[in-house]
Amino acid sequence: MSLESSHTARGSSPAAAATCLGTELSLRTATAQREHLKLLAAADGEVTLDGGRIEVVDTAGLQLLAALISALEVAGRPWTWQAASPPLRAAVVTLGLGTLMQLPPTERPA
């Protein structure tokens, strides 16, 4: 599992870091994710999280994500979601983390 960072021009400032959270957000991948998310929290600019590809998520993975979001909030850093997968949404609801995670509304087919 790898987290990918890139700059995005889609409705964001040029300094906004778009971070793909990969396909797995779990205890198995926590070490690599923790280091990457620590760097992301320490960087400057707006943070855009892309959880649209997440297929596997567990409590440890959500704990890392919650720690990142809390750190961004405490620092007054702007952040937003680009996407959130159904498994990510289900885990957030199950654990009662909706208020903290502030997931984007689901897109409805036209």
What's the pLDDT score for residue 18?
Answer: 73
Mind listing the pLDDT tens digit for each residue in 41-98? 888 889 999 999 999 999 999 999 999 999 999 999 999 999 999 999 999 999 999 9
Phi, psi angles (nearest 5°) of residue 54: -65, 125
Q: Under 8 Å CB-to-CB from 2, ≥6 apart: which residues?
A: 22, 32
> How distant, in Å, are the alpha carbons of 17, 19, 21, 44 from that of 89?
22, 17, 14, 27
**Interatomic CA distance for residues 52 and 82, integer angstroms:** 8
DSSP strand pairing (56-57 vs 24-25): parallel
User: What radius of gyration do the chain's Cα atoms show?
Assistant: 13
Domain 4-101: which topology? Transcription Regulator spoIIAA (3.30.750)
Name the 3-class secondary structure at 82: strand
pTM (two decimals)? 0.79
**Where do the structural domains in the chain lie, given as residue ranges?**
4-101
